[in-house]
Structure 1
Amino acid sequence: MEELLKKQYFYNNLDSTTKKLLKKICETEKKKKRINNIIIYAYLIIGFIFLLFFKDIMFKHNYAININSIFSLCKLFLIISAFISIINIISKKLYSNSEKAKKKLKEYLIFEVCICKNKCTCKKDLINFLTLNGIPII
């Protein structure tokens, strides 16, 4: 997205603070996409591991459920829930960083964001560009 942004006509007219904020937003969006993919794979791996261990625990002794298998299943649930909570903490931190960057840009958009001398549409075009690329600022 950063490459697309640099190709826009209004990018050269933006002041340095706006460019820094946009760069930060682009970086957090890249990280967010990467982490989302990792989270999906992590959930798939956790589900697969759960199925393997569930089958092994529950049907180990002639398809009979005993106290040991129930305790083992509880331990498995605790371990999997710990992994899921760690994944959720990481994703929440990343989303909060993304929201902070968007909030800073939104606050900065109140002021002039470009160095144009006469009336221009840089701010409007920037907002439209970000909205079209999935980053709603307003």
Structure 2
Amino acid sequence: MKTTNLLCVIDDDDIYKYAVKRAVKVNKLTNKIITFSNGEEALEFFIENLNKNENIPDVIFLDINMPIMDGFEFMEEYIKLKPSVGKKITIYMVSSSIDEADVKRAKNISAISDYLLKPIMPKELANLINGTK
């Protein structure tokens, strides 16, 4: 099974982050996983590591509703940085929201690969990380 070098989860729900980490570890889906509790923490990390591709994730699972900087605010700032990022990053917006406005807004951001509803089952997680969705 193919593994992703670096996976990033940006979400304020510690239980969800633990579940993703556990599923990733059990299924050996990545070499490393990094987590952030809000978009601002993640954005600061990206800015500090723009010239270090080995520290930039291959796949990001991004929550919408978080304190300080939500997922949509993160994406607004990420899009400004994207030309400076030296690799392709697959971003999935992951939320428990079924609000059609959230779904439509996420689908209108070209840098977001898909909008997914929580919880993500381990098999779906594997397919997403391996790019076989």
Normalised by the length of structure 1, the TM-score is 0.22
- Which structure features the higher share of helix residues? 1
Name which structure has the greater RCO, CA cutoff 8 Å, separation 6+.
Answer: 1
For the pair shown, the structure with the greater C-alpha radius of gyration is 1
Bigger share in strand? 2
